Amino acid sequence: MDLFIDTANLKEIEEIAQWGVVKGVTTNPKIFSQEEGADLKTRVFEILKLVPGPLSVEVTTNDFEEMVEEASVYAAWSPYVVVKLPMNENGLRALKVLKGYSTKIIVGSIRHLQHINQAAEAGAHITTVPYKFFREMARHPQTDKTIDEFLEAWNKIKVPIA
């Protein structure tokens, strides 16, 4: 299962991308609205410099014709842009028009770490993970304790490495 960071914040994307676990970025109109003063197209290209795709960009309308038009514009920006459509009647109609592309199951709206495990168990292709959960996934009390034990044991023997 691939992990995509669910944000449009450049600092968050840059930090987590350095870990080497992020395969893409997901966004939505609400996420973009939280990036004060950010122009959508400019931000898309800024994100693609940090994580060269895929980057999901969601349409901002429920109108069928507008969805198709907007999706076409976003898709033309880069081959790495993946258009997200709402799961409603018009979104399904738009999918039919826009399809000829392969699809993947994306699990989003992660509200706690267990959702990530459940997505993997359910066979999701991609899970969109908010920044705060990437930070939490990198920490576990037992893992931290075990790492400390390993280092403490190693420091007691002080064997030089070649």
7 Cβ neighbours under 8 A, 6+ residues apart: 13, 25, 27, 31, 130, 131
Q: Which residues are catalytic?
A: 84
H-state helical runs in the chain: 10-17, 29-33, 40-50, 64-77, 89-98, 113-122, 131-137, 141-157
Phi, then psi, of 106 in degrees rounded to 5: -115, 130
User: What's the number of CA atoms in the CB half-sphere (13 Å) around residue 37?
Assistant: 0
